[in-house]
Amino acid sequence: MSSRAAIGICMAVAVMVTNSFGAAKRQATLIPLSGGETRRTIGADVGLSLADTCVVSQNKEIVYRIDGWVTGNELYKALLDPGKSCPGAYPFTVKAINMPMFFAGATPITVSVDIEAVDSVTIPGCKVPGVLKAISSDYGLQVPAGGGLFDIWIPLDTPFVVNGPFFAGFFIGNAIDAAAGAAVLIDTFPAQCATYNIWDTTIGFIDMCNNQFYNFPGRLAMEASGFPGGSTADPAPAISWLLPSAGDLLLGQKELWAWENSGSKIIDYVSFAYSYNSGPYIEIGRDYDGTSPLRDGVHTPVTGNGFSYQWDFSPLAEGSYTLRATAMDTLGRSASATVTVTLEPTPPIATITSPQTGQDFCSPLKVIMSTTDNNISYVELARKQAKWNYAAGLSAFNQSKVGDANGSPLDGNHAPTEFGDYYSGPVSAALLLKLWSDRGYSAPMMNGGVLLSVDSVTEKLAVNFKTRSNNGTSDELLMSGLRDYLVAKGNEFTIDARRHPDYFTLRTWCEEEQRGVLIGLGGNAGPWLAVNGFKGWQQPDGSFTVTVSNPVTGALQDLSMRLGAMGGELLYLGTWHPIDVMISIVPKAWIVSRTVFAADTDGSDGWAVTWNPTGLVEDSLYFFRSGGKDATNYRGYSTVLLRYNCSQIYVHGDFNNDAVTDISDLVLLINYIAKQGTPPAGGGTRADVNCDRYVNMSDIVYFINYLFYGSSAPCR
């Protein structure tokens, strides 16, 4: 476990350590050093002998060791200032961190290090650890028999440039046996707001020189190595917008997503800001973590959303705004990009609150809607029949036919000498372009009046996506590369994206709105897949069936989809994979046919419509779409997918279908959620009793409050 996960480790062990470790730390004792001890190194070789290396420390000398304090599974922090140790320090490139320690005897120790920014705001007048900036891998070390003083030098995975003081972190990732006699070292200057320790998140970080356990009479010994001047090899920042696009109408809230495309490894953060009526820019927020998945279909992609920010702009005034994204690196260099959009803070969306998507309905159908917009002039309802088995019409294509590097395209093009195994991104995107070509939009598949093959378009997209140089396709490069390709081919398509879609959102995009959609999977190994359609309805275990064009097998494949902790998950290669992102393309001029069947022009008594359908077939599926329009003619939509099923309408909360809602239903619910027992009658999604689209312990709590304390009834 790296230091990035240090706090998570502490949380996991908090219950165990609160009493025992806290009591142990109160028994810490101060032992003076003789001054003649030799310090041996058991960490990595970090090049301390290099001429340009400077060692940064806050300690002039180490005088004491603290016995009985170190327990393991804990994180230490020390404030370091290169400007006090190294002439002409800034910018300063930090390479490695060391925390000298004493051991009485042999012991294994797992360690990692990190760098955090200095937070001078949270506690006025006191510097505390702030945003995580850089980390190292885990290092499993062995303290030899005999013990003594040791330097434990650990290099950062990537050297990091600082322009001022920073907090160095040292994480001990395993429990240390008391017999090993592990001890930290200190000087004789007990400065507060300079050294910290955390072993229990209930207690939190403690100031080692000012706490309720044991006040250290000096600062923790910790060092950093590096060199003045910073790294000039990294290019200056460069940035562009991915979402939103110029001219977009944003309703209520939106993910802001920018791509820092310089390739620099020293980007500090991306700041998002807005300007109204050519006024000054006001910062929305910053993202310090630009980690982005590379989906190669071979390895597990990392988790991350790139440089992005979820923006709730409901307090702002309606109108035209300029959004600015600014990338700042650790050398103080920056780059900005702007996009102009229209904000509608109180969107004219009449959200369908009843019935909930995925439910059954029978005649009469009463649709209840709610909205935060007081200016909605009317709401109309439209329906569109969903096919029991829907297929968009995608082709199948095997990625082993592309990515050739040796001039023999028929040999399979497999990694590591060729690139076909990494081509799920360009193949899936090319299949979407072929889908739209088959629907009459052939420009993206044309070159000089000649219709291109899927493999030819795939190779062109692979260039835009930089698939070969990266051995895979990142989310940002797929979005930007596909956008640039489509703009060059006539700019007749709109591109959109959404994180962690559930089944109903995915099906609405694909079938109801008829978009071409591909999805990026997390997990081992996460590929890009183009979505072809859906089969049937909910299975007894609560899952649904999604059909994808699988570039690995070169075939259309049916996969199970369920709700997970973050959203939709797909059963791929026998393992549940989270759907991290879905990306869609649709022509700007594309029109979807729907049947308007009702309207409400007076919201004074709430927005609601009652419909008495006739001639519907049992077990048929329907999309219902509410469309609201406000005084400025802005429009917003809400969609649900329902099954017409009059043969079985379940009582809300009656999970065992005995026509009574009682404690036996609670037992069934607990067994299903906590013990993977029998799902409720009607399918597993009925266990989502609070309708937050997640099936978890909060549904049990909700049901208990309903059953015993008179709270609102379950929504399913």
Domain shared by 624 and 682, yes or no: no
List the CATH number of the domain containing 636. 2.60.40.10
Q: Based on the number of CB atoms within 10 Å of its own CB, is 233 exposed (0-12), middle (13-18) or buried (19 or more)?
A: exposed
Taking the C-alpha atoms of residue 503 and residue 498, their distance in angstroms, rounded to an integer, is 13
Question: Could you report the per-residue pLDDT of 251-265, keeping only the tens digit for each?
Answer: 988 999 999 999 888
pLDDT of 4 above 60: no
Question: Could you report the per-residue pLDDT of 337-380, keeping only the tens digit for each?
Answer: 999 999 999 889 999 999 999 999 987 899 999 998 878 888 99
Assigned domain for 551 exists: yes
pLDDT of 174 above 90: yes
Assigned domain for 29 exists: yes
| Predicted pLDDT of residue 711 | 86
Assigned domain for 290 exists: yes
Assigned domain for 281 exists: yes
The helix or strand, by DSSP H or E, that contains position 129, with its residue range, turns out to be strand 126-135
pLDDT of 14 above 80: no
Q: How far is CA 466 from CA 153, 386, 471, in A?
A: 37, 38, 8
pLDDT of 12 above 50: no
Taking the C-alpha atoms of residue 533 and residue 581, their distance in angstroms, rounded to an integer, is 17
Find tokens 């702007």 and name the residue. Answer: 338
| Predicted pLDDT of residue 691 | 81
Domain shared by 129 and 220, yes or no: yes
Residue at a domain's end among 566, 587, 608: 587
Assigned domain for 715 exists: no
Assigned domain for 43 exists: yes
CB 314 within 8 A of CB 145: no
- Top pLDDT among 654 and 590 is at 590
Domain shared by 425 and 441, yes or no: yes
Identify the domain containing residue 692 by its residue range. Answer: 663-709
Question: Could you report the per-residue pLDDT of 480-527, keeping only the tens digit for each?
Answer: 999 999 999 999 999 999 999 999 999 999 999 999 999 999 999 899
CB 186 within 8 A of CB 30: no
Domain shared by 88 and 123, yes or no: yes
Question: Could you report the per-residue pLDDT of 553-567, keeping only the tens digit for each?
Answer: 999 999 999 999 889
| Predicted pLDDT of residue 232 | 56
Domain shared by 338 and 379, yes or no: no
pLDDT of 384 above 70: yes
Residue at a domain's end among 228, 249, 268: 228
**Residue 159 CB contacts under 8 Å (≥ 6 apart), including other chains:** 93, 94, 95, 226, 231
pLDDT of 399 above 50: yes
The 3-state secondary structure of 239-289, one letter per residue: EEEEECCCCCEEECEEEEEEEECCCCCCEEEEEEEEEECCCCCEEEEEECC
**Residue 23 CB contacts under 8 Å (≥ 6 apart), including other chains:** none
Neighbours of 639 (CB within 10 A): 20
The 3-state secondary structure of 283-313, one letter per residue: EEEEECCCCCCEECCCCCCCCCCCEEEEEEC
pLDDT band, residue 45 (cuts 50/70/90): confident
Domain shared by 357 and 412, yes or no: no
- The crossing angle, in degrees rounded to 10, of helices 454-465 and 424-438 is 130
CB 324 within 8 A of CB 278: no
List the CATH number of the domain containing 431. 3.90.70.10
| Percent above pLDDT 70 for the chain | 96
Question: Could you report the per-residue pLDDT of 400-452, keeping only the tens digit for each?
Answer: 999 999 888 888 999 989 999 999 999 999 999 999 999 999 999 999 899 99
Q: Using CA atoms in the order 544, 545, 546, 551, what is the torsion angle rounded to 10 degrees?
A: 130
Domain shared by 539 and 516, yes or no: yes
Domain shared by 371 and 396, yes or no: no
Q: Mean pLDDT across the stretch 676-702? A: 85
Would you list the DSSP string of 553-596? TTEEEEEEEEE-SSSEEEEETTEEEEEEEEEEEEETT-----EE
Domain shared by 274 and 134, yes or no: no
Q: How far is CA 431 from CA 514, 572, 589, in A?
A: 15, 20, 20
The answer to which of 68-82, 194-208, 227-241, 521-535 has the lowest mean pLDDT is 227-241
The sign of the CA dihedral 567, 570, 576, 580 is negative
pLDDT of 713 above 90: no
pLDDT of 10 above 50: no
Q: Based on the number of CB atoms within 10 Å of its own CB, is 152 exposed (0-12), middle (13-18) or buried (19 or more)?
A: buried
pLDDT band, residue 9 (cuts 50/70/90): very low
Question: Could you report the per-residue pLDDT of 94-133, keeping only the tens digit for each?
Answer: 999 999 999 999 999 999 999 999 999 899 999 999 999 9
Helix/strand/coil for 34: coil
Assigned domain for 654 exists: no
| Predicted pLDDT of residue 230 | 67
| Predicted pLDDT of residue 158 | 84
pLDDT of 231 above 90: no
Q: Mean pLDDT across the stretch 669-693? A: 85
Q: Based on the number of CB atoms within 10 Å of its own CB, is 304 exposed (0-12), middle (13-18) or buried (19 or more)?
A: middle
pLDDT of 17 above 50: no
How does the average pLDDT of the chain come out, rounded? 91
Assigned domain for 594 exists: no
Question: Could you report the per-residue pLDDT of 276-295, keeping only the tens digit for each?
Answer: 999 999 999 999 889 999 99
| Predicted pLDDT of residue 394 | 97
pLDDT of 530 above 80: yes
Domain shared by 402 and 517, yes or no: yes
| Predicted pLDDT of residue 327 | 96
Beta strands in 319-458 (DSSP E): 319-329, 334-344, 351-354, 360-361, 365-370, 376-386, 389-391, 446-447, 450-451
pTM of the model: 0.67
Taking the C-alpha atoms of residue 83 and residue 262, their distance in angstroms, rounded to an integer, is 29
CB 625 within 8 A of CB 653: no
Structural domains in the chain (count): 5
Would you list the DSSP string of 603-619? -TT-EEEEE---SPPTT
* The one-letter amino acid at 489: K
Taking the C-alpha atoms of residue 687 and residue 41, their distance in angstroms, rounded to an integer, is 56
| Predicted pLDDT of residue 15 | 32
The 3-state secondary structure of 542-560, one letter per residue: CCEEEEEEECCCCEEEEEE
Domain shared by 159 and 135, yes or no: yes
pLDDT band, residue 20 (cuts 50/70/90): low
Domain shared by 79 and 197, yes or no: yes
